[in-house]
Amino acid sequence: MSWFSSRLNHAQEVTHPRKRFYRARAHCNPLNVTDFDVPTRPEEFDWYGTPLVRFVDIGCGFGGLLVKLSTIYPDTLMLGMEIRDKVSAYVRERIAALRREHPGSYRNASVLRTNAMKYLPNYFKKGQLTKMFFLFPDPHFKAANHRRRIINSHLLTEYAHLLAPGGWLYTISDVPELGEWMVAKLDAHPLFERVSEEELESDPAAGLLATSSEEGQKVARNGGATFRNVYRRLPTPRGLPQPPQAAVKP
């Protein structure tokens, strides 16, 4: 029994989960020491014989992007990681309902409840992922909390380790300052290079970034602007231009 289809049941009517029963607080402190069942090694996690996961949505929220991607890339396994308990339960129920509704589809998407900032290397091997998605991450405005931002130089090193060379890292945000921050960090990392807009136009996943997730739909409803930045993981580090003497604030 494949892990991805383990939630299949034979109910006659398909009831989708209702968000109002799964509402949770928006912010979850990623530094919390909560006991997740984290595998010691990627090999020790029971993937039920499925091929390797290739797409990861970090902070998948209510799963909007996952379900859209699942139909566009039906042969690629994709995983959403969400730290909030209720919300990850919602995504699980949603995917189960979709599988019942469309038999044969949505078998390639699933969700994990875990702290992605700490435990990504426990789940994925080096160079396993080909796409990573960071949709509307928490801005953490206070300077003291900047270390909790999901895109920072140290975590970029980890993401580069998990992304296969040539893999893409998608980010989008509606906070301008966060968008600039992410661009600055990604530009400063020698293993990442910006993907041009022309390439983005032809990429189906990039088009989904702005409106597929619930957060993106809310931003569109409120008429906000979004800042999309997609970067490619390079096989070899590029040389960085030496900055001027002024110290760059990290």
Partner 1 sequence: MGRRRWNKKNPEKARAQQQQRRPEDGGDPPVRLLALQPNNSVVGVAMGNRVTFVNYQTGEEVRLEPAPNPQQAAAPSGGATASPATTAAPAAPHAGCPVRVLHFSPDGHFLLTGGDDKADQAAAAAAAAAAAAAAGSSWRCVAAWRTPKKTSAGGFSLDGAFALFVDKFGDVLVGRVPAAAAAAAVASGEGGGVGAAAGSGAARGGGEGVSSAGALEVPVSLLGHFCTIVTGVAPSPCGRFLATSDREYKVRVSVLPQDLLQGSYEIQGYCLGHQEFVSCIAFAVQQTNDAGDASVSASSARQPSVLLSGSGDGTVRVWDYCTCTELASYVASAPSAGAAAGTGDAVVAATATAAAGDGSSAPEEAGGGGELGDDEADGGAAEEGDDGGGDDDDDDGGNVDGEGEGEGVGGGGGDGDGGGFEEPQRRGKGPQCAPVLSLAVASDGCTVAVVVEGDDEIQLLSLDWTTHCLSLRQRLRWPDVRYPCQVAFGPMGHLWVVGGVPLPTAKSAHIGVAKRGSDGQFAVCTEELLPPPVRALLEVREEDEEAKLSEGGELFAYSKRLRKPAYDTEEMQNFKRKRNDYKETQRLAALRLRQDEQAKQKQQQQQQQQQQQQETSQQQGQEPHREGGGEVVVVKDEGKELMDTTAP
Q: Which residues are annotated as a binding site for S-adenosyl-L-methionine?
A: 59, 82-83, 115-116, 135, 213-215
Contacts of 235 (CB under 8 A, 6+ apart): 165, 166
Q: Which member of 75, 143, 201, 223 binds partner 1 (CB under 8 A)?
A: 143
Pick the piece of the chain touching partner 1 (CB under 8 A) from 7-15, 25-33, 105-113, 197-205: 25-33
Q: What angle do CA 217, 223, 227 make, to 5 degrees?
A: 75
State the nearest-atom distance from the C-beta of 10 to partner 1, in Å.
24
Would you count residue 139 as binding partner 1 (CB under 8 A)? Answer: yes
The one catalytic residue in 37, 75, 138, 203 is: 138
The rounded distance, in Å, linking the Cα atoms of 218 and 199 is 27
Q: Which member of 20, 49, 103, 235 binds partner 1 (CB under 8 A)?
A: 20
Q: Which member of 153, 176, 177, 220 binds partner 1 (CB under 8 A)?
A: 153
Contacting partner 1 within 160-199 (CB under 8 A): 160-161, 184-185, 188-191
Q: Which member of 4, 62, 106, 168 binds partner 1 (CB under 8 A)?
A: 62
Would you count residue 135 as binding partner 1 (CB under 8 A)? Answer: yes
Contacting positions for partner 1 (CB under 8 A): 20-21, 23-27, 30-31, 33, 35, 40-41, 59-62, 82, 86-87, 117-119, 121-122, 126, 135-139, 143-148, 152-158, 160-161, 184-185, 188-191, 213-215, 218, 237, 240-243, 245, 247-250
